[in-house]
């Protein structure tokens, strides 16, 4: 008599089972993925989405409706995103150094001057919008930030700085001839990029730039800038 119990047979397993298809990182319909990608690209390129601009109104409203999707996706690429509905604005600020701008000193001076001009109009004069001309900006730079400088920023360099600010949705720039009559509207986005609590904080920072060589970095361009751009 055989006392050995019969060993149950295990089911045969194929040597190479097909791998399960990976689940997508973002489980959204393709149409929504496309809109999310467009919004992220806009934030990377321009820093914000201006809902009051006709060409960005639909994008702004999509971002408002799906803000959690946008916020989580933006964190993956190093951005903090805020929704500011009163200003019809979505704004991104960098969380990582690689996404931060490294401004030259003269550009920093111009952005400080734009902040000051806007703060006077918004806070002191109670204006809803902040407008000034290039001539007024030059006067502000000379009086408040560069009183000891030998001259104004070269025209071509100032135009370049203002175009950069416009590209990042910090201002709207309406170029005219002569350049000094060009119009500037400072946008609310600048208050978060240059986040001073009040004028006293601005004054403390601006004092560090009140040096005779404040525009020294732009001197090399002074001889060739007039018609360069």
Contacts of 62 (CB under 8 A, 6+ apart): 35, 39
**What pLDDT, on the 0 to 100 scale, is given for residue 219?**
45
Report the chain (229 residues): mean pLDDT per 10 consecutive residues: 57 57 68 95 97 95 96 95 95 93 87 91 87 95 70 88 97 96 96 75 67 47 41
Helices (H) and strands (E) in the chain, counts: 8, 6
In sequence order, what are the residues at sequence separation of 6 or more whose Cβ sits closer than 8 angstroms to the Cβ of residue 138? 152, 153, 158, 180
Token pair in block for residue 112: 């400080």
> What CA–CA distances, in Å, run from 79 to 41, 66, 71, 174, 199?
12, 16, 8, 29, 28
50 and 89 Cβ atoms separated by less than 8 Å: yes
Burial of 51 (0-12, 13-18, 19+ CB in 10 A): buried
The answer to whether 110 and 137 have CB atoms below 8 angstroms apart is yes
If we measure between CA atoms, which residue out of 129, 165, 122 comes closest to residue 52? 129
Per DSSP, the residues of 144-197 read II-TT-SSPPPHHHHHHHHHHHHHTTSEEEE--SSGGG-EEEE-TTHHHHS--S
- What pLDDT shows up at residue 181? 97
Neighbours of 110 (CB within 10 A): 25
Look at residue 222 in the predicted model and tell me its pLDDT. 41
User: Residue 23: what pLDDT?
Assistant: 53
**Residue that has been written with the tokens 């009183």 in this structure:** 147
pLDDT at 94: 94
């Amino acid at each position: 008599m055989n006392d050995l119990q019969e060993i149950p047979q295990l089911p045969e397993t194929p040597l190479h089972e097909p791998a399960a298809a990976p689940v997508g990182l973002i489980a959204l319909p393709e149409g929504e993925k496309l809109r999310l990608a467009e919004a992220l690209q806009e934030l990377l390129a321009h820093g914000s989405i201006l809902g009051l601009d006709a060409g960005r109104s639909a994008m702004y409203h999509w971002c408002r409706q799906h803000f959690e999707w946008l916020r989580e996706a933006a964190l993956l690429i190093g951005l903090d995103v805020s929704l500011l509905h009163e200003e019809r604005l979505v704004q991104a600020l960098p969380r990582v150094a690689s996404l931060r701008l490294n401004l030259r000193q003269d550009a920093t001076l111009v952005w400080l001057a734009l902040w000051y001009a806007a703060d006077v109009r918004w806070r002191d004069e109670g204006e809803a919008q902040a407008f000034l001309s290039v001539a007024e900006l030059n006067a502000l730079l000379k009086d408040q930030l560069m009183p000891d400088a030998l001259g104004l920023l070269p025209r071509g360099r100032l135009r370049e700085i203002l175009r950069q600010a416009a590209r990042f949705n910090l201002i709207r720039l309406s170029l005219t001839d002569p350049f000094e009559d060009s119009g500037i509207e400072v946008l609310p986005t600048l208050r978060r990029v240059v986040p001073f609590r009040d004028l006293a904080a601005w004054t403390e920072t601006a004092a560090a730039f009140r040096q005779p060589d404040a525009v020294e970095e732009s001197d090399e361009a002074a001889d060739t800038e007039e018609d360069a751009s």
